[in-house]
Amino acid sequence: MSANASTARNNAHPSLDDRDIVFIDGVRTPFGKAGEKGIYHGTRADDLAVKAVRGLLERNPEVPAEKIDEISIAATTQSGDQGLTLGRTVGLLSGIPKSVPGFAIDRMCAGAMTAVTATAGGIAFGAYDVVIAGGVEHMGNHPMGAGADPNPRFLSERIVDPQALNMGNTAENLHDRFPQITKERADRYAVSSQAKLAKAYENQQIQADLIPVAAKRPGDGWAVNTVDEPPRPETSMESLAQLRTPFRAHGHVTAGNAAGLNDGATAALLASGAAVRELGLAPKMRMVSFAFAGVEPDVMGYGPVPATEKALAKAGLGIEDIGLFEINEAFAVQVLSFLDYYGIDQDDPRVNRYGGAIAVGHPLASSGVRLMSQLARQFSEDHSVRYGITTMCIGLGMGGTIIWENPNHADFGSKA
């Protein structure tokens, strides 16, 4: 950094310290349905990640590629076209200088979120100034759990309930724990998610962060994909009532009130406060705090609650200070258990304004950055909100939460 950039505060961004962690931009590919009928059936996972990274750099020409200090790309199944140290291979395939290192990371659904927090820690420490962090999941090429070999001690020593190894069962367990969260409530939440996403598309609030992807499906030829494939805007309470409950007879969880199996990639650009000034970057969010927490694996969907409690305590904030919530919708019951804990109505306008994973899809390790991109765009639209959170449940009983500050708020950066 130059001498001017090493000054803790200056007139360009007086509220940013040198080691502040700033979200500059986030993009994603359109999400597809996993399987032979999906738009990415003939596409490699690493090529999806390359598309996201290249699109991110093209949108931010003020960041020279040689200034990037690290690339972290997450994937849950790290084999085949999702293996070979993705951060490094994606960097090489994206045309980023060979001097820029990279690594892969796995925290299941919170892969991209962890890629962000891991590199953010490097920024705060002074090891990095500019990083790329994201995730990819091609669930068509790599079905959930494919090739996994859970240690038999999990079951023989009763370390983990057998149902904890199936995410749908853990969602049914949450319904058992919280009987007030009925199937009717879960279905109503799912209908709302679909409707909110459709409205966001209508208002051009989604398309701006999508990177078009040309893909060839066997037998169908090439097509340029510019919108998400999973949404079902026609979803109604009546149609959801007809769906079977595959995880339990007469259960609550269906394909309609849960996220689907999807393919897609995300990428985010993070920078230090010093780099923001040196390169003339425009901050979209500042990271305030983050936390991960564990819960019983058989109710893994409850993980966002203790993670949020930890993140709020670290930030010295209360839930009443949070003006926007981006909650990953792995299952409707998981979101509702979080909202009920904090006494927030499921129709509260602060919650998932653009809809969520039930509508748009959840390509596991990529989803964390989607939450961030959507929150950043809402910050740009609503300057009255100072703080927002991105939070998600994580397989085997964990949760992760990041608290962000809106640079458009009048009190941005105030330590009072």
Please, which pLDDT band fits residue 12 given cuts at 50, 70 and 90?
low
| pTM score of the predicted model | 0.95
> In whole numbers, what is the pLDDT of the chain averaged over residues?
94
Q: At what angle do helices 332-342 and 167-177 cross, to 10 degrees?
A: 40
Q: Which residue matches tokens 């690290």?
A: 70
Whether 350 and 319 have beta carbons less than 8 Å apart is answered as no
pLDDT of residue 145: 81
**Does residue 274 carry a pLDDT above 70?**
yes
What pLDDT, on a 0 to 100 scale, did the predictor assign at position 155? 85
Contact at 8 Å (CB) between 62 and 279? yes
Transcribe 108-156 into DSSP letters.
TBTHHHHHHHHHHHHHHHTS-SEEEEEEEEETTTS-TTTT----THHHH
What dihedral do alpha carbons 315, 125, 76, 89 form, nearest 10°? 150
pLDDT > 80? residue 359: yes
Q: Residue 5 above 60 pLDDT?
A: no
Q: Do 74 and 106 contact (CB within 8 A), yes or no?
A: yes
Residues 6 or more apart in contact with residue 320 via CB below 8 angstroms: none
**CA–CA separation, 71 vs 49, rounded Å?**
11
Tens-place pLDDT, residues 133-175: 999 999 999 998 888 888 999 889 989 888 788 899 999 999 9
Residue 378 CB neighbours (<10 A): 21
Which of 44-53, 276-285, 406-415 has the lowest average pLDDT? 406-415
Tokens 């037998």 correspond to: 219
Q: Which of the two residues, 122 and 220, has the higher pLDDT score?
A: 122
**pLDDT, tens digit, 9 for 90 and up, residues 175-228:** 999 999 999 999 999 999 999 999 999 999 999 999 999 998 777 889 999 999
pLDDT at 14: 65
The answer to whether residue 416 scores a pLDDT higher than 90 is: no
Q: Round to whole Å and give the CA distance between 64 and 353.
A: 34
Percent of the chain with pLDDT over 70: 96
Residue 1: pLDDT above 70?
Answer: no
Which residues, in sequence order, are CB contacts of 244 under 8 Å at separation 6+? 254
* pLDDT for position 13: 66
Give the tens place of pLDDT for each residue, 293-349.
999 999 999 999 999 999 999 999 999 999 999 999 999 999 999 999 999 999 999
Residues with active-site annotation:
109, 362, 393
For residue 6, what pLDDT band results from cuts at 50, 70 and 90?
A: very low
**Any residues with CB less than 8 A from the CB of 142 and at least 6 apart, and which?**
45, 76, 77, 79, 80, 82
